[in-house]
Amino acid sequence: MLLKTRVFDLCPGRYKNLSELAEAMEISVSQVYRVQEGKRNINCKFIIGAIKAFPGCSFDDLFYFIPEVPAAPAPAPAVPRP
């Protein structure tokens, strides 16, 4: 299972930009950006920060799970022909 977030969907009306969100979450802007872009997985600091930045929201309001899709099997190696 992969943990995904709704944090970025909840931002409009609360935070003007990623800098404000990061400040409220007490983590770096680069970490927030990397999670938003899918370049970094959600970790404990992000979860704790999201709960700080969105008081009154439950964990389920902020995060959800999706099934992890298994990687496609590697193609079989080519067999040399005589």
Q: List, for residues 21-64, the tens digit of each pLDDT value.
A: 999 999 999 999 999 999 999 999 999 999 999 999 999 999 99
Is 1.10.260 the CATH number for 2-66? yes
Residues ≥6 apart with Cβ < 8 Å to 74: none
Q: What is the pLDDT of residues 6-18, one digit of tens each?
A: 999 999 999 999 9
pLDDT band at 78 (very low <50, low <70, confident <90, very high): confident
Q: How many CB atoms lie within 10 A of CB 16?
A: 10
Helices (H) and strands (E) in the chain, counts: 5, 2
